[in-house]
Amino acid sequence: MPVAPNVSDYDSLYAGFSWETEKAGLSGLPNGQGLNIAYEAVDRHAMGALRDHIAFRWIKKDRSVRDCTYQELMELTSRFANVLGELGITKGDRVFAFLGRIPELYIAALGTLKTTAVFCPLFNVFGPEPVFQRISRGDGSMLVTTKDQFEKKIRQLLERLPQLRYVLLTDAEQDESGQVRSLPRLMEKASAAFTIPTTAPEDPALLHFTSGTTGLPKGALHVHKAVLVHYVTGKYVLDFHPGDIYWCTADPGWVTGTSYGIIAPLVNGVTNIVDEEEFDATRWYAILEEQKVNIWYTAPTAIRRLMRMNISPREKYNLEHLRLMLSVGEPLHAEAVTWGEKTFGMPFLDNWWQTETGGIMIANYRSMPVRPGSMGKPLPGVEAAVAEVTDDSFSIITEPGKDGHLVLKRGWPSMFRTYLHDEERYNKCFRGDWYLTGDLAKRDADGYFWFVGRADDIIKTSGHMVGPFEVESALMEHPAVAEAAVIGKPDQLIGELVKAFVVLKPEYQPDEALKLDITAHARRKLGPAVAPKEITFIDNLPKTRSGKILRRLLKARELGLPEGDLSTLEQP
Ligand code: ATP
Ligand code: MG
């Protein structure tokens, strides 16, 4: 039976939307004691009809599976909350997790939220220095990690982290000291019953560091009220229906893996698949088939890798359960959207948001015609616009098709409440009622938003403003191109010269003839002023752990400048 989309008519939903009305989909803490993310995600379901429904299915690296019902999850997270209480962790304290995608990570996240302490996930692949930076900047009181990570990366940091009161090891049988404790032992002793304390909707809940694509990662602080956005986007963008099986491929080390790899699916009561392993095309297709995934949320970097592999998944795998595919994190090239249609029989639906927004802000909806290359339309309840911004002026652009700064009217529930230890920078993000996202976009006559580039990446060449995305998209349409990244290189004559780094598909050889052919293709598509003047073939593009192309690093290397903060650089 086809499943009717939750958004049947975007325009009327948008026009009649109210956050207040949507709140009815949440429960609130019993006796009017506020709003707590973990209660909405876990306890209310565990005490209701979803008690025995699978909340998480964790797939281990060896492909074995562990299921956890809402009821079991309530007990485990309550135990964890009691462990924190025993150790004196209280409201507002920061609890860090430095774990792979194993059950303890999810239990720690939700258990911490129950206590009103603040949870901060770290990418498991970080080296000691990025971990140190984040725990010290984030004033971490507790760290949950494994024995192996502790020995390799953390022990050496303890002296420099005097505020870190406890390290809990998920796989240690015995306590090592008063500070370094065995989590299983503590969990065993703790009670499985926990009453969530009064939680104000404005109480801090999550600390997320940004991806570090444009510079030093910033610590964005989010509050419990954000859960309203997780709920609403789960319903309207991810289109959750009862009984759905959902898979978000993001790691909780960045915001997607928490907002949409933990909170949104649970709040909406669906089954959340987690795979411990890193990207692997055939494994991924097999998971889609075996787990009967209905909704799949992934990222452009993964989609481009799948595109490169040339597998026809529908010929080899039974993907009949798949109803919806979504993408976030970077611009999704039109090419990728149509590849989705060709390969899976449905487009990838792009959506836009950032660490600071806490949840999806602009999206393509199942029922809305997709314009490949567009990010879609604002979430109901969110006002987005394009603005002309200078140091001392701000005005909304009403003319369709004109580039400007992407801005959001402040006040959506999951808006970040500060940059940790950098209030000044936070304040600079606002102009009156508007939040400046740092991205450039345009809006077409029908209200679709189109990504132009990050404000930092815009290239000024011969009096034109060129967004890298436009050039990269055109390059991607050439049959030999697997991936491309475009930067501006200072040039005396024309200001900046458009330079492209191109990764070829495996079956193509880099040579002058191909370079000329790609250049000619780009010139036809973009015109000579915008097309790259220089092309360099490269084996891999430098990326963040969350899969974003690090154009600033390509540029720094090209110009022989310092490489800046590389804590989130993915090592190929
Ligand atoms: P930093 O702020 O540290 O430089 P970052 O901005 O990459 O890192 P995130 O908050 O993880 O950190 O990423 C949000 C950014 O990712 C957005 O501001 C935007 O530039 C880009 N982005 C996310 N989704 C999309 C999308 N659908 N289309 C285009 N860009 C996107
Ligand atoms: Mg950013």
SS3 272: strand
Q: pLDDT band for 463, please (50, 70, 90 cuts).
A: confident
Report the DSSP beta bridge partners of residue 348: 325
pLDDT at 570 over 90: no
Distance CA 451, CA 441 (A): 4
89 CA to centre of ligand 1 in angstroms: 33
Q: What mean pLDDT comes out for the span 464-468?
A: 87
Express each pLDDT in 422-445 by its tens digit: 999 999 999 999 999 999 999 999
Distance CA 550, CA 135 (A): 24
CA 206 to chain CA centroid, Å, is 14
Query: Which CATH superfamily groups domain 10-443?
Result: ANL, N-terminal domain (3.40.50.12780)
Contact 301, 547 (CB under 8 A): yes
Q: Provide the H-helix boundaries in 362-509.
A: 423-428, 468-476
Nearest-10 Cα torsion for 397, 400, 402, 403: 80
Distance CA 89, CA 27 (A): 26
- What is the pTM for the complete model shown? 0.95
Q: Which atom of ligand 1 is nearest to the CA of 469?
A: 29
355 CA to centre of ligand 2 in angstroms: 7
Contact 418, 221 (CB under 8 A): yes
Sequential DSSP letters for 490-511:
EETTTEEEEEEEEEEPTT----
The CA-based diameter of the chain, rounded to the nearest angstrom, is 72
Annotated domain spans of the chain: 10-443, 458-559
Ligand nearest to the CA of 218: 1
Express each pLDDT in 13-70 by its tens digit: 999 999 999 999 999 999 999 999 999 999 999 999 999 999 999 999 999 999 999 9
How confident is the model at residue 443, as a pLDDT? 98
How confident is the model at residue 1, as a pLDDT? 67
- Tell the residue number behind the tokens 């940790």, with chain if given: 420
Mean residue pLDDT across the chain: 96
437 CA to centre of ligand 2 in angstroms: 8
pLDDT at 262 over 80: yes
Query: Any residues with CB less than 8 A from the CB of 259 and at least 6 apart, and which?
Result: 226, 230, 358, 359, 414
Query: Which two structure tokens, joined as six digits, stand for 557?
Result: 């290397």
Express each pLDDT in 267-282 by its tens digit: 999 999 999 999 999 9
Q: Provide the H-helix boundaries in 32-182.
A: 37-38, 44-46, 70-86, 103-115, 128-137, 147-149
Query: Any residues with CB less than 8 A from the CB of 558 and at least 6 apart, and which?
Result: 487, 489, 499
Residue 22 corresponds to which amino acid? E
Distance CA 503, CA 510 (A): 9
Q: Which atom of ligand 1 is nearest to the CA of 218?
A: 3
565 CA to centre of ligand 1 in angstroms: 17
80 CA to centre of ligand 1 in angstroms: 32
Q: Which atom of ligand 1 is nearest to the CA of 214?
A: 4
Query: Which CATH superfamily groups domain 458-559?
Result: ANL, C-terminal domain (3.30.300.30)
In this structure, the residue with its CA closest to atom 5 of ligand 1 is 211
Query: Which two structure tokens, joined as six digits, stand for 419?
Result: 């940059």
pLDDT > 90: percent of the chain: 92
Q: Which atom of ligand 1 is nearest to the CA of 437?
A: 18
Distance CA 37, CA 140 (A): 21
Mutate to test the pocket of ligand 1, among 452, 548, 570 (most ligand atoms within 8 A of CB): 548
353 CA to centre of ligand 2 in angstroms: 9
How confident is the model at residue 244, as a pLDDT? 98
In this structure, the residue with its CA closest to atom 18 of ligand 1 is 354
Q: Which atom of ligand 1 is nearest to the CA of 456?
A: 4
Distance CA 110, CA 105 (A): 9
Contact 509, 515 (CB under 8 A): no
Q: pLDDT band for 512, please (50, 70, 90 cuts).
A: very high
Query: What backbone phi and psi angles, to 5 degrees, belong to 69?
Result: -80, 170
Rg (CA), the chain: 23
How confident is the model at residue 19, as a pLDDT? 98
Distances in Å between the Cα of 319 and the Cα atoms of 249, 288, 289 are 17, 7, 5
Neighbours of ion ligand 2 (CB under 5 A): 210
Contact 532, 498 (CB under 8 A): yes
Distances in Å between the Cα of 379 and the Cα atoms of 128, 231, 445 are 38, 12, 18
Of 218, 198, 197, nearest to 209 (Cα)? 218
In this structure, the residue with its CA closest to atom 27 of ligand 1 is 352
Ligand nearest to the CA of 213: 1
In this structure, the residue with its CA closest to atom 3 of ligand 1 is 212
pLDDT at 413 over 80: yes
Express each pLDDT in 147-187 by its tens digit: 999 999 999 999 999 999 999 999 999 999 999 999 999 99
72 CA to centre of ligand 2 in angstroms: 36
Ligand nearest to the CA of 357: 1
Q: Give the CA angle between residues 36, 103, 178 to the nearest 5°.
A: 85
* Pocket around ligand 1 at a 6 A CB cut-off: 210-215, 217-218, 254, 328-332, 350-352, 354-355, 375, 437-439, 451, 454, 546, 548
Report the DSSP beta bridge partners of residue 441: 404, 451
